[in-house]
Copies of this chain bind each other. A is one copy, B any other.
């Protein structure tokens, strides 16, 4: 889990840097199409993080199902979160 956490932290830090970059671009009055390319790139990076967390979440749920035999309650919780996340 620590490996995933470190990976996530590194990706989030990179996005923070990208946001700072866009602030600078807006401040300098750069062209809209250049800024939009950056926004689209941040959006992709954020999406990747969302999917990593979803995948990790499902694995955690599956471990709990196996250990505690509490049927599929955990999985149902996952599906609820999943549905909320994908309805965009």
Copies of this chain, tallied across the complex: 4
Are A43 and B83 CB-contacts (below 8 A) given A13-B23, A56-B32?
no
User: In the assembled complex, which residues on chain B have CB atoms less than 8 Å from the CB atom of A44?
Assistant: 87-88
Q: How many A residues touch B, CB cutoff 8 Å?
A: 53
Which of B8, B37, B47 touches A86 (beta carbons < 8 Å)?
B47
Contact yes or no, B5 A36, CB < 8 A: no
Assembly CA distance A44 to B86 (angstroms): 10
**What residues of chain A have their CB less than 8 Å away from a CB belonging to chain B?**
5, 8-9, 12-13, 15-16, 19-20, 22-23, 26-27, 29, 32-33, 35-37, 39-40, 42-44, 46-51, 53-60, 62, 65, 72, 75-77, 79, 81-88
